[in-house]
Structure 1
Amino acid sequence: MNMFAVAILAVLITMGLTLVRAFAGPTVYDRILAVNACGTLTMVLIALYGFFDGRPDFLDIALVYALINFIGTIAVSKYIKFTGLGFPVRNHDEGDI
């Protein structure tokens, strides 16, 4: 078996484990981190497949995917922290209206 095929299989197994963590994570931050890790593993999988198939230009696609994954993770994290026009969520039980 080719070394790239073994690496692809290992990445797929690891992606499965991160998806389990994404669904079972006790907090929203655990889920965000698991989805970010799955996106990073997808980038590695695209690069490995490109080299396995003899098309190293897939590395450019993998790098663009990594940038989109990073921006998406920052956007979701900011949305969770600040939901209303960039201001922190206020607790209405404390008397803030």
Structure 2
Amino acid sequence: MTPFFLGMSILLLLGVFTALYRAFRGPNILDRVLTVSLIGTNTLVALILISYIYEYCFLDVALAYALLSFISIVVMARYIESKGKF
């Protein structure tokens, strides 16, 4: 099972690097908001993966992180909508 977890970790890291590339090369603010959401999702999956590997109870932390990530994306979207420019 260890090669599977190593492969998944490499894929998550690759996803974070592609998201960071899109954040730096993105032409507008919506690309950066999408990048924050993608990195938050990858972090959530990494927490769940670590919880499964080490048999610790990080699932409550992952749930709280998912809630905070969702709220931050909603707040950013509301702010962008109120400014009217992107």
TM-score range, shorter chain: 0.7 to 0.9
TM-score relative to the length of structure 1: 0.77
Partner of 2:77: 77
Gaps of 5+ in 1: 84-88, 90-97
Runs of 4+ in 1 over 2 A off after TM superposition: none
Q: Distance in 2 between matches of 1:27 and 1:38?
A: 18
When the two structures are superposed, what TM-score results if normalisation uses the length of structure 2?
Answer: 0.86
Counterpart in the other structure of 2:13: 12
Larger relative contact order (CA 8 Å, sep ≥ 6): 2
- Aligned AA (1:78): R
Structure 2 regions of 5+ residues with no counterpart? none
Report which of the two structures shows the higher radius of gyration computed on alpha carbons: 1
| 1:63 Cα deviation after fit | 1.3
**Secondary structure at the counterpart of residue 82 of structure 1:** helix
Identity of aligned residues (%): 36
